[in-house]
Amino acid sequence: MDHPPKEAAAAAAAAAAPAPAPAPTTNVNSSSSGLAAPQDQVRRVSCTKCFDALWFCYSPFHQMQQYYRYGEFDTCFGKWNALFDCLSLKTKKSSEVQEILEAREKSRPHIWEYRTVEEASVNWWRMYGHFFKFPPKPDS
């Protein structure tokens, strides 16, 4: 019996994972020298990822996967909203788009919780201290 190569199996597994509705991507174009100051960079919104996600959402593979996992078909409303949002950004001035994207970036919660060294130590021992069973200290 022939088995598919590991790369093909990994690609199939990656394709099977449901993708969240993508945010509009921005392409940064700089001057011809490649060394432009940040204020000189032009950000253009690309809706390709949103359209691709919507297209995949209506594919028989994705719909059958959703039906198998959750017992109902995917309505793809989130993908439509992401595409409409992206297309609406394309109708605005580039300065407005940059302000909107920066505001969204700032409103997202940060993935890390910042702690001092002492707070981190206390938290680490609280979470993982049970793995270390130290013998009792001798009463000297």
Residue 140's Cβ-side half-sphere holds a number of Cα atoms within 13 Å equal to 1
- pLDDT tens sequence for the chain (140 residues): 444 444 444 444 444 445 555 666 665 544 444 444 455 455 678 999 999 999 999 999 999 999 999 999 999 999 999 999 999 999 999 999 999 999 998 898 888 888 999 999 999 999 998 888 777 777 75
The domains of the chain are located at 20-29+40-95
Q: Is this prediction's pTM over 0.85?
A: no
Q: By CB neighbour count within 10 A (0-12 exposed, 13-18 middle, 19+ buried), where does 45 fall?
A: buried
Q: By CB neighbour count within 10 A (0-12 exposed, 13-18 middle, 19+ buried), where does 140 fall?
A: exposed
pLDDT, tens only, 121-139: 999 999 998 888 777 777 7
Question: Cβ(40)–Cβ(53) under 8 Å?
Answer: no
Compute the distance between CA of residue 107 and CA of residue 74 in angstroms, rounded to an integer.
Answer: 28
Question: Cβ(26)–Cβ(48) under 8 Å?
Answer: no
